[in-house]
């Protein structure tokens, strides 16, 4: 019986649907882990071969053939270490979310995920059938219990593995980032390991996939619930941990490097950067173009884009109108200079005037209102999309969650684009992130952060003309969107009932806009997108 076991945690950034490419990554990583560090077992994330989430790709016959071929290729090419590989397993008409132990060129055991999440961004019951049996495998004389992600969020799977004489647990995961998620993961893992008195290896994927970002943060816990190793967040890599058999045959991990926990602002900012980088790169865009207004939202979006892609791949365009202040012009130019991105200034005044002239007869007898404001936004969209089409650069939008919630955005105007980096960031969070980014080097002028927010679509316009102060608006929105609180419950928290009613009516009325918005990085407990399914047409009265 061996006295030590070296496990490699392969925290990889994978591409959904690229089975051949993902298999090649597995082969390369497993070979390197064994050759360079003599790893005995290499653990890969959940659904590594397909990427996560594969969604309806799973139903394609060609995809099934690629998965089966990819699994065979990994078995042929990996010799030396055992590997635990997540993949979709097809059995007749059923599909399982499985983890295979591959040893000596063959699949030695398969664990089928028992707990299938069907909440928030997860809808695994649409695709998979649950497993029911524990899977405990032998690796170099150690009995390893295999689990897949949600299996540890309920007690039964770990208890079954313990009953089958597991000595340690290896859990493969595709756990997406949201604020404070790592604290929650480690709390759940601690409950499981202390319940069964077994150490745990938790390997998570990293990278962006549409709205989701996976932060990695893989870790190892001893049987007492202490974190003895943690991989860095938002970084690809292979991380190693040794287990030793000590007195009375007890298996314990040898403490390794523990990456420090990051601040909330740091984790959110890193998630936004990674989400933008992977979305742009995985789609093969040469870069991005975006509008720069001189306000804090576009300033933060510009910083994220430059950090994600490099200044040479970012083009910022200021598009002034008659209502654009000299301060906004100066600040936008300064933001572009500080970040070193390409900067253009293109006036929309001629387009705006021509459009008003064309519509003069249609608008006759009606006072100026949101129609004229929205025309300006749509003029800007025409310029940005023209640049996008001509250069191949993807258009980023700059709206925040507070605006998207209440419809303070123009359909086919500033909402138009390919990706929305700060779509899930409230206005108050935008300010916090701007201050955080400036702490590592000033790129957003302080007066951009300090000045009252304005769309500058009419004379001396301020957001507060149309909306409650963000210090009131954002807590109401968070309580309604993320906690599903009613008007009565919000009033009990101290909010003015009339204000709450007005805000919730705006949220309800603007669902049609959100359905037409581009995807954006999810960072909250509930974002507009995969986990927000609100009917456009509905008669519900609060």
Cross-strand partners of 6: 242
Judge whether 211 lies within some domain: yes
Identify whether residues 300 and 407 lie together within a single domain.
yes
β pairing state of 342-345 and 168-173: unpaired
| pLDDT 10s digits, 214-230 | 999 999 999 999 999 99
Q: Whole-structure pTM over 0.85, yes or no?
A: yes
- Is 353 a domain residue? yes
Q: Are residues 302 and 219 in the same domain?
A: no
Tell whether 523 is covered by a domain.
no
Strands 41-43 and 82-91, bridge-based pairing: parallel
- Does one domain contain both 193 and 272? no
Measured CA to CA, the distance from residue 288 to residue 417 in angstroms comes to: 10
Q: What angle do CA 173, 178, 184 make, to 5 degrees?
A: 65
Domain boundary residue, one of 212, 239, 261: 261
131 domain residue, yes or no: yes
- Whether 42 and 60 share a structural domain: yes
Q: Which residues, 6+ apart, have CB-to-CB distance to 483 below 8 Å?
A: none
Q: Return the CATH number at 333.
A: 3.40.50.620
Question: Does residue 352 share a domain with residue 217?
Answer: no
Beta bridge partners of 220: 201, 229
Cα–Cα dist 405/401, whole Å: 6
Least confident of 8-22, 109-123, 448-462, 504-518: 448-462
Q: Same structural domain for residues 214 and 84?
A: yes
Residues marked active site are found at: 46, 113, 149
- Give yes or no: residues 257 and 272 share one domain: no
Q: What is the structure's pLDDT at 79?
A: 86
For 180-184, 485-489, 534-538, which range has the lowest pLDDT when averaged over its residues?
A: 534-538
In total, how many domains does the chain have?
2
Examine the domain organization and report whether 341 and 394 are in the same domain. yes
Question: What was the pLDDT predicted at 151?
Answer: 93
| pLDDT of 247 | 74
What is the span of the domain harbouring residue 429?
265-458
User: Is position 413 within any domain?
Assistant: yes
What pLDDT band is residue 232 in, cutting at 50, 70 and 90? very high
The Cα 26–Cα 74 span in angstroms is 7
Q: Do 164 and 245 reside in the same domain of the chain?
A: yes
* Mode of pairing for the β-strands spanning 41-43 and 4-11: parallel
**61 and 193 both lie in a single domain:** yes
Look at residue 348 and tell me if it is in a domain.
yes
Cβ–Cβ under 8 Å, residues 152 and 111: no
What is the pLDDT, as a whole number, of residue 452? 82
DSSP bridge partners of 212: 209
Q: Are residues 202 and 308 in the same domain?
A: no
CATH number of the domain that residue 207 is part of: 3.60.110.10
* pLDDT for residue 393: 98
DSSP alpha helix (H) spans, 340-464 = 349-358, 360-363, 370-391, 401-406, 427-439, 446-450
Q: pLDDT band at 244, cuts 50/70/90?
A: very high
Judged against a pLDDT cut of 90, whether residue 453 lies above it is answered with: no
**Which residue, 261, 278, 307, sits at the end of a domain?**
261
310 and 189 part of one domain: no
Identify the domain boundary among 440, 458, 476: 458
Closest CA to 278 of 207, 194, 201: 207
What mean pLDDT is predicted for residues 398-415? 93
> Is 277 among the domain residues?
yes
Asked if residue 520 belongs to a domain, the reply is no
């Amino acid at each position: 019986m061996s006295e030590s076991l070296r496990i490699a945690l392969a925290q990889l950034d994978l591409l959904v649907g690229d089975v051949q490419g993902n298999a090649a990554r597995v082969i390369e990583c497993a070979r390197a882990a064994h050759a360079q560090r003599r790893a005995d077992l290499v653990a890969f994330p959940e659904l590594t071969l397909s990427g996560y989430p594969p969604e309806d790709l799973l139903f394609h016959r060609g995809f099934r053939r690629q998965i089966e071929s990819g699994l065979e290729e990994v078995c042929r090419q990996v010799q030396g270490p055992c590997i635990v590989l997540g993949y979709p397993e097809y059995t007749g008409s059923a599909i399982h979310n499985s983890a295979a132990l591959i040893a000596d060129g063959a699949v030695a055991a398969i664990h089928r995920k028992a707990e299938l999440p069907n909440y928030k961004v997860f809808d695994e019951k649409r695709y998979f059938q649950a497993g029911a049996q524990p899977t405990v495998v032998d690796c170099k004389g150690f009995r390893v219990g295999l689990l897949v992600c949600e299996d540890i969020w309920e007690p039964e799977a770990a208890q079954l593995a313990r009953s089958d004489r597991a000595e340690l647990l290896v859990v493969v995961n595709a756990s997406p980032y949201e604020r404070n998620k790592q604290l929650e993961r480690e709390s759940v893992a601690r409950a499981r390991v202390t319940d069964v008195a077994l150490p745990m290896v938790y390997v998570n994927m990293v990278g962006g996939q549409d709205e989701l970002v996976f932060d990695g943060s893989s870790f190892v816990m001893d049987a007492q619930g202490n974190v003895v190793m943690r991989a860095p967040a938002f970084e690809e890599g292979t991380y190693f941990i040794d287990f030793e058999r000590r007195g009375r045959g007890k298996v314990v991990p040898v403490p390794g490097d523990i990456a420090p926990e990051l601040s909330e602002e740091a984790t959110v900012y890193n998630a936004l950067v990674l989400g933008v980088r992977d979305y742009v790169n995985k789609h093969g865009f040469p870069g991005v173009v975006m509008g720069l207004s001189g306000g804090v939202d576009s300033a933060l979006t510009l910083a994220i884009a430059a950090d994600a892609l490099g200044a040479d791949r970012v083009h910022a365009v200021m598009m002034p109108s008659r209502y654009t202040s000299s301060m906004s012009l100066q600040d936008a130019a300064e933001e572009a200079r500080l970040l070193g991105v390409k900067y253009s200034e293109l006036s929309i005044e001629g387009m705006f005037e021509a459009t008003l002239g064309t519509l003069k007869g249609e608008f006759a007898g009606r006072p100026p209102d949101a129609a004229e404001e929205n025309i300006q936004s749509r003029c800007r969209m025409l310029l940005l999309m023209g640049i996008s089409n001509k250069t191949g650069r993807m258009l980023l939008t700059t709206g925040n969650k507070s605006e998207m919630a209440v419809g303070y955005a123009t359909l086919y105007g500033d909402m138009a684009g390919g990706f929305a980096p700060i779509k899930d960031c409230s206005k108050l969070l935008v300010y916090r992130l701007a201050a955080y980014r400036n702490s590592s080097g000033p790129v957003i002028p302080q007066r951009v952060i300090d000045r009252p927010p304005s769309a500058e679509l009419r004379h001396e316009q301020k957001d507060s003309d149309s909306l409650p102060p963000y210090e009131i608006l954002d807590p109401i929105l968070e309580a309604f969107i993320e906690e599903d609180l009613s008007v009565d419950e919000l009033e009990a928290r101290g909010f003015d009932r009339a204000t709450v009613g007005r805000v919730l009516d705006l949220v309800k009325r603007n669902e049609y806009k959100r359905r037409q918005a581009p995807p954006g990085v999810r960072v909250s407990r509930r974002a507009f997108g995969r986990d927000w399914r609100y009917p456009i047409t509905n008669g519900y009265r609060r």
